[in-house]
Structure 1
Amino acid sequence: MKKSAYLKVMLGAGALAVITACGGEENLNDDNNAGAENNNDNNNTEEASGDDVTLELYSSMTAEGERGEFEDLIAEFEEENPNISIEANFPGGSYEDQLRVMMAADDVPDLFDTHGWSQLRYGEYVRDLSGMDWVDDLDEQMEDIVTDEDGKVYTYPMNQAQDGVIYNEDVLDEHGIEPPTNWDDFREALETIRDESGGQVAPLWIPGGDDWTLAQMVDQMMTPMFETHPDHDYTDEFQDGSFDWSNYEPMGELMLGLHEDDLLNQDVLTAQFAQAPEIMASGQAGFMFIVGSIGPDAQEVNPDANIGLVPTPAYHDGDDPSWIGGERNTISISEDADHPEEAEKFIEFMTEDEPATRIAEATNVDSALEHIEPDAFYSEYYDRYSDVEVIPYFDRVHLPSGMWDVMATTTAELLSDGDVEGAAQTMGSEYERLREEDDGEDDLDDIDEEDIEDFEDEDNE
């Protein structure tokens, strides 16, 4: 399936400056080529002497099934290449913090996952992959996201996200609800479930005890609210810092209204993400703004459960729904990798038909390579809504680094205290603070020296 190409904002031009690489970008390709030649000489010597090579890999994968498949593929690569070992690490929720410490210590892993920030956060730390064969097969949408205006390819995206809203088909069928694609129909569907289920089914279930799920919904809804409708497109204002944050109040009213009208689960602020498969499998929820492995995990709990997926609903009249996406799991090569040829060899292995298909199916999303058509859990729905455009995550393009956590905590506070105006003010003040912190500079200076020393001690051990 080929997705529609859509990218209103070029990620390399006009985006918020987050890293210092922007100033020296024009010399990166020359530096990379020179570095590659030196490393090639070293690697040829190593191969001739039969030396073994160990590559350190860090991945942000958290789901057990996804990690298991990736580890199986790593083992198969090692079997095919007995002189190359890969030391795989899966830090889970601490992934981002660990990578920041590694960057501050100038000790980035040979291979690592840029988890949606290949250019803005990690751009100066990764090698250019544009010379690799698989680049020509990149989906057009994904090529735009991981390639800058000079042609540098920052990462290999193993898969690509297309986030929308999952739903229990049996719950919708019971109440005569068609999968909604705009906000008015979506809210009407929630109200129908509330009124007809007698409180036994949460219309929209959010595990806000893990507050990143609140940020997930807000981030998805910022796209239709502030970007895709031409009369409500504030992206330029977000980019240049002039956005009037009083315009954010409708988002606060949307979230608070769902809570006050009993359209969310009563335990929205304490429910845990780990409960999601059981909740969806047992028909205790109609909709969730979390996709990923929840569908297949729910079917493992209850094989008879029918889980569907619909794009993120349009918010303004006359607008269309959207897939919210971008790269999900990636493999980049460190700019300072000691063994770049071996690292490229692993990426080449992962782009072969079987590994590329297996990783897409294990992560239940589409491949970033055009010729790969995985039998993923949601493939039916990606095909059904193949005309819906895929739009990059709002925070990755239009907000400064750190706003995800702000969206999470501010939304949790809003649902607790009901202060819509205060939520908008907090979002605005934090946006300004984070923009000033970025201001063309990386945000690594605030990392505790003890953290760096601890990391270096562990690395030496």
Structure 2
Amino acid sequence: MRGSKWLLLLGTLLVSGTALAACGSNNGNGGGASASSEASPSSSASAGASSSASPAASKDDKPVTLTVMTNIVGEPANVLEEISKEFTKENPNIKVEFSAPGADYENIMKVKMASNAMPDVFSTHGWAKVRYGQYLADLRDEAWASQIDDKIKPAVTDDSGKVYVLPIDQDKSGPVYNKDVLDQYGVAVPTTWDELLQAAETIKTKSGGKVTPIHIGGADSWPIGQFFDFMATPSFISPSTNDSAQLLDGSFDWKKFDSLPQMLLDLQKKGYLNKDVLTSKYSDSAKAFGEGKVAFGFYGPSLIEEAKKTNPNVHGGLMPIPSVVPGDAPTLAGGEKTTWGVWKDSPNLEAAKKFVAFYAKPENVKKVAAAGGLPPGLTGVDIDAGDLTADFQKYADTPVFPYFDRDYLPNGMWDVMCKNGQDLLAGGITVSQFSENMKQEFDRLRTAAQ
């Protein structure tokens, strides 16, 4: 009898201890890590949740930590992190270590690819198929996959049907301009490179130097690369007589490339660039744009959204990339922008897919697309792009070309282009040396990739 009582007491304690442990497991794993948003840069309860006010994970769910990394910077990165925090609230058994390293992202990812130790979830910044394809899980069976917009589908799927990433929004980009500045100095939106130079001269002269025609945050390096990426297409790809075939087969005459760094150098020599181009950052470009001290930015729509943190009433506009060759038409750059892919060897594969699916919810797609001022990557989501809504409609039929470096340069050339641009503006190399360096690295990296 006495033994029976002890057995009964022991059983009661074991049951109570198990219940307490389960309770602790459900409540001790929420919250996400803070993100660095500066460079360059919902509602689905867990399976088995009760109908109580706060969603809870099933007692069978084990605590999981997801590593999540994005190349996105600025306000769009803040929005991504906020959505991540909402995810952890609804999935307290999944902790998210979120990071947005900005300009360092590409180099970090190169190291991770070399060691085959990728983040559970990561962004592909235009390289979903070519660079990251072998590391990505196939997401074709996800519920949102059937909603991918036809315009972005070629960039994130292949002929076999594999879906490489969730395209939350899609890039449709060109330089942006401050409408109030252009109106103040009677300048029309330029459509050619010569018209852009004339507009810059007018603004510089009439403002007495108080307004910078074109602002580039060169200390972050990638804004210089963005200039080359934009202007390479009208220089070598979009004209009827072009060098696309030669760039693809490796026979391109790199002496022709001299014209591109010369264009950037001319902007500096004529006083059309900010004097602190090599020490200013992307955030400085946005601040100056919001304050009405800048006319043009070679960044795309995200600059306008970032500038609104300085001046919520700033009036920005999107313009196509000006043509360079006579007879050619202005163009836009397009492809991937904000994406989430899942590492195929992730030890937390299902949790990672659940995280990505959370961002595919219409309300979250809307937040991300609006933060970057871009069209959504999934159908059935309408966004108000503010001033840019009319621009997207106006330029709906403007030709959209992939970013130059993604289609015509081997992996690794982006950093080469950015660094040589910095050296050029600093006076460390000449225009011809820039092109020679590009040729040398192009040949080396292309051979290494074969």
Q: Aligned AA for 2:80?
A: F
Q: Give the alignment of 1:333-344 within 5 angstroms.
A: 333-344=342-353
Counterpart among 88, 103, 110 of residue 93 in structure 1: 103
Q: Which has the larger radius of gyration?
A: 2
Q: Aligned AA for 1:336?
A: D
Counterpart among 108, 113, 117 of residue 103 in structure 1: 113
Alignment correspondent of 2:412: 402
What is the alpha-carbon distance in structure 2 between the residues aligned to residue 258 and residue 50 of structure 1?
A: 59
Would you say 1:426 and 2:426 are equivalent positions? no
Q: Give the alignment of 1:200-219 within 5 angstroms.
A: 200-219=210-229
266 and 91 in structure 1: CA distance in 2 versus 1, 3 angstrom threshold? closer
- Provide, for residues 156-185 of structure 1, a one-character-per-residue CA deviation record: whole Å limited to 9, x for no partner: 111122221111112111221111122222
What is the alpha-carbon distance in structure 2 between the residues aligned to residue 195 and residue 49 of structure 1?
A: 70
CA contact (8 A) 2:174 2:321 kept: yes
What is the alpha-carbon distance in structure 2 between the residues aligned to residue 78 and residue 305 of structure 1?
A: 34
Alignment correspondent of 2:136: 126
Would you say 1:155 and 2:186 are equivalent positions? no
- Provide, for residues 180-218 of structure 1, a one-character-per-residue CA deviation record: whole Å limited to 9, x for no partner: 122222222112112222222222222223322111101
Would you say 1:358 and 2:367 are equivalent positions? yes
> What displacement does 1:390 show?
2.4
What is the alpha-carbon distance in structure 1 between the residues aligned to residue 430 and residue 231 of structure 2?
A: 19
CA contact (8 A) 1:180 1:189 kept: yes
Q: What is the RMSD of the two structures over their aligned residues, measured on CA atoms? A: 2.2
Alignment correspondent of 1:271: 280
What is the alpha-carbon distance in structure 2 between the residues aligned to residue 67 and residue 254 of structure 1?
A: 32
What is the alpha-carbon distance in structure 2 between the residues aligned to residue 296 and residue 49 of structure 1?
A: 43
Alignment correspondent of 2:67: 56
> What displacement does 1:113 show?
1.2
Instruction: Count the aligned residue pairs.
Output: 392
Q: Give the alignment of 1:163-182 within 5 angstroms.
A: 163-182=173-192
Q: Give the alignment of 1:301-340 within 5 angstroms.
A: 301-340=310-349
CA contact (8 A) 2:301 2:318 kept: no
CA contact (8 A) 1:366 1:379 kept: no
102 and 412 in structure 1: CA distance in 2 versus 1, 3 angstrom threshold? closer
Alignment correspondent of 2:82: 72
Alignment correspondent of 1:22: none
CA contact (8 A) 1:156 1:332 kept: yes
CA contact (8 A) 1:365 1:379 kept: no
207 and 108 in structure 1: CA distance in 2 versus 1, 3 angstrom threshold? closer
Higher relative contact order (CA 8 A, sep 6+): 1
What is the alpha-carbon distance in structure 2 between the residues aligned to residue 434 and residue 90 of structure 1?
A: 27
Q: Secondary structure at the match of 1:287?
A: strand
Alignment correspondent of 2:194: 184
User: Any unmatched runs of 5+ in structure 2?
Assistant: 1-56
- Provide, for residues 431-455 of structure 1, a one-character-per-residue CA deviation record: whole Å limited to 9, x for no partner: 112212322xxxxxxxxxxxxxxxx
Alignment correspondent of 1:283: 292
Q: Aligned AA for 2:397?
A: D
What is the alpha-carbon distance in structure 1 between the residues aligned to residue 359 and residue 273 of structure 2?
A: 41
> What displacement does 1:104 show?
2.4
Query: Taking structure 2 as the reference length, what is the TM-score of the superposition?
Result: 0.81
- Provide, for residues 251-278 of structure 1, a one-character-per-residue CA deviation record: whole Å limited to 9, x for no partner: 1222222222222223333333221122
> What displacement does 1:220 show?
0.7
CA contact (8 A) 1:206 1:214 kept: yes
Q: Secondary structure at the match of 1:140?
A: coil
Alignment correspondent of 1:251: 260
What is the alpha-carbon distance in structure 2 between the residues aligned to residue 73 and residue 415 of structure 1?
A: 39
Alignment correspondent of 2:382: 373
Give the ranges of 4+ consecutive aligned residues of structure 1 lying more than 6 Å apart after TM superposition.
none
203 and 49 in structure 1: CA distance in 2 versus 1, 3 angstrom threshold? closer
Aligned-residue sequence identity (percent) comes to 36
Q: Secondary structure at the match of 2:299?
A: coil
Q: Aligned AA for 1:270?
A: T
What is the alpha-carbon distance in structure 1 between the residues aligned to residue 290 and residue 119 of structure 2?
A: 39
Counterpart among 351, 354, 358 of residue 349 in structure 1: 358
Per mean C-alpha deviation after superposition, the further-off stretch among 324-333 and 254-263 is 254-263
CA contact (8 A) 1:299 1:305 kept: yes
Alignment correspondent of 1:7: none
Alignment correspondent of 2:41: none
CA contact (8 A) 1:293 1:364 kept: yes
200 and 344 in structure 1: CA distance in 2 versus 1, 3 angstrom threshold? same
> What displacement does 1:335 show?
1.0
CA contact (8 A) 1:299 1:306 kept: no
Alignment correspondent of 2:401: 391
> What displacement does 1:370 show?
2.5
Q: Aligned AA for 2:433?
A: G
What is the alpha-carbon distance in structure 2 between the residues aligned to residue 72 and residue 412 of structure 1?
A: 34
CA contact (8 A) 2:247 2:408 kept: yes
Per mean C-alpha deviation after superposition, the further-off stretch among 148-157 and 415-424 is 415-424
Q: Give the alignment of 1:35-54 within 5 angstroms.
A: 49-54=60-65
What is the alpha-carbon distance in structure 2 between the residues aligned to residue 394 and residue 98 of structure 1?
A: 22
What is the alpha-carbon distance in structure 2 between the residues aligned to residue 117 and residue 348 of structure 1?
A: 20
> What displacement does 1:47 show?
7.5
Q: Secondary structure at the match of 1:373?
A: coil
> What displacement does 1:326 show?
1.5
CA contact (8 A) 2:305 2:371 kept: no
Q: Aligned AA for 2:114?
A: A
CA contact (8 A) 1:165 1:312 kept: yes
Q: Aligned AA for 1:302?
A: N
285 and 103 in structure 1: CA distance in 2 versus 1, 3 angstrom threshold? same
Counterpart among 294, 308, 322 of residue 299 in structure 1: 308
